[in-house]
């Protein structure tokens, strides 16, 4: 006679196998397909490097005096690392409505950089803390937009910058005020190089609208809120940002850069244990290798910030991105 307890156990485990395991297995298989078993190439970073990378540079180069030798040393280091675009912090719009006058030494800095490394493109990084986030700048106001346009013209025509890099935070999908500012900047600046920093997640329609007014978009692909234990999660998150953004900007013809974090600052949205040079480059490379991405829309990486990037991180960059 069958043992009732054994029969109950068989029924119990039969239920687990037929009922519970599929509940666990199906999502697992889907997850593996999405994040692990994805058709992809195995190219290294140097395969995608075009020598058109960038770095965000501190305000001290525009606001403080430096010797010719110091500036030449910086220019040589930027060129050696194939950092063609220099986002040199110039100024930001204060709550008073005035721009901070922090670019008195920019003319001599730019002149020396150009004399030493003529191929470097020095852009004036302008900060706009928008009232759509934690800031106060109201781009709905025509007078505010005009002040920004006037300052941009001054930085290009009188100070000597090669172009403008707008950092408007927070920029959300469909923000027509930012789009209007870019339209007015383009009209005033003509063919002058215009770059825009954006956060990840822009939809295709809005991304195309922005791309119609600028020469370059730099994605601030950090401050993800992923903690130190989630380094691989950050890599995966960045991989899918690369896929989505390259697809969104396909066919626009503009330059597309992805930010690589090297900041040592610990905040609620940034943990350097997860967001760092190694994980940033790995996520970007994985994204470009993914068969769903559009590498033809990609131009390079942008290091944020230059002043926090250590020697070890530059060694990682040289190895994983430049292929040295």
Q: What is the pLDDT of residues 165-215, one digit of tens each?
A: 999 999 999 999 999 999 999 999 999 999 999 999 999 999 999 999 999
**Cα–Cα distance for residue pair 274/28, rounded to 1 Å:** 24
Question: Would you say the C-alpha torsion 163, 169, 175, 177 has a positive or negative sign?
Answer: negative
Give the CATH number for residue 315: 3.20.20.80
Q: Is a pLDDT exceeding 90 seen at residue 19?
A: no
Mean pLDDT of the residues in the chain = 90
In a domain, 181, yes or no: yes
Q: Is a pLDDT exceeding 60 seen at residue 47?
A: yes
In a domain, 193, yes or no: yes
In a domain, 26, yes or no: no
Domain span at residue 203 reads 52-322
Q: What is the percentage of the chain residues whose pLDDT exceeds 70? A: 88
Domain count for the chain: 1
Query: Which phi and psi angles does 196 have, rounded to 5°?
Result: -135, 130
For residue 142 the two structure tokens come to 């025509």
H-type alpha helices, the chain = 4-15, 21-35, 45-48, 60-63, 68-80, 106-116, 142-154, 176-189, 204-211, 231-248, 277-289, 311-317
In a domain, 25, yes or no: no
The predicted-structure confidence for 128-165, as pLDDT tens digits, reads as follows 999 998 899 999 999 999 999 999 999 999 999 999 99
In a domain, 40, yes or no: no
Helix, strand, or coil here: 2?
coil
Residue range 63-86: mean pLDDT, rounded: 98
Q: How far is CA 84 from CA 75, 123, 199, 231, 292, in A?
A: 10, 11, 22, 28, 28
pLDDT at 254: 98
pLDDT at 231: 87
Residue range 206-231: mean pLDDT, rounded: 91
DSSP per residue, 27-71: HHHHHHHHHTS--B----HHHH--S--EEEE-THHHHS---HHHH
**Cα–Cα distance for residue pair 89/103, rounded to 1 Å:** 8
pLDDT at 35: 52
In a domain, 32, yes or no: no
In a domain, 27, yes or no: no
Query: Which DSSP category does 228 fall into?
Result: G
Identify which has the larger pLDDT, 55 or 269.
Answer: 55
In a domain, 33, yes or no: no
pTM of the model: 0.89
DSSP per residue, 94-128: -TTS-B----TTHHHHHHHHHHH-TT-EEEEEEEE
Residue range 94-111: mean pLDDT, rounded: 97
């Amino acid at each position: 006679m069958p043992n009732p307890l054994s029969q109950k156990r068989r029924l119990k485990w039969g239920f687990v196998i037929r009922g519970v395991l599929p509940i666990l297995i199906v999502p697992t298989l889907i997850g593996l397909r999405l994040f692990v078993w994805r058709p992809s190439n195995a190219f290294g970073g140097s395969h995608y490097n075009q020598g058109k990378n960038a770095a965000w540079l501190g305000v001290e180069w525009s606001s403080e005096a430096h010797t010719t030798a110091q500036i030449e040393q910086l220019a040589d280091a930027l060129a050696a690392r194939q950092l063609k675009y220099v986002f040199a912090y110039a100024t930001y719009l204060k709550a008073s409505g005035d721009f901070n006058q922090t670019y008195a030494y920019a003319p001599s800095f730019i002149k020396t950089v150009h004399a030493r490394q003529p191929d470097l493109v020095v852009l004036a990084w302008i900060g706009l803390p928008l009232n759509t986030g934690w800031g106060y700048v109201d781009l709905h106001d025509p007078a505010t937009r005009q002040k920004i346009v006037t300052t941009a013209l001054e930085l290009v025509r009188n100070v000597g910058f090669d172009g403008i890099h707008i950092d408007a935070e927070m920029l959300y999908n469909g923000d027509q005020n930012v789009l209007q500012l870019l339209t007015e900047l383009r009209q005033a600046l003509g063919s002058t190089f215009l770059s825009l920093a954006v956060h990840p997640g822009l939809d295709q329609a809005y991304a195309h609208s922005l791309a119609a007014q600028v020469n370059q978009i730099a994605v601030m692909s950090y401050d993800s809120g992923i903690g130190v234990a989630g380094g691989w999660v950050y890599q995966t998150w960045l991989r899918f940002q690369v896929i989505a953004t390259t697809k969104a900007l396909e066919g626009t013809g503009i330059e597309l850069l992805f930010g690589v974090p090297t900041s040592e600052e610990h905040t609620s949205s940034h943990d350097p244990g997860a967001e760092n040079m190694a994980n940033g480059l790995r996520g970007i490379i994985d994204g470009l290798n993914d068969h769903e991405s559009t590498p033809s829309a990609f131009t390079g990486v942008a290091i944020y910030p230059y002043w926090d990037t250590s020697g070890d991180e530059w060694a990682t960059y040289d190895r994983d991105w430049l292929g040295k």
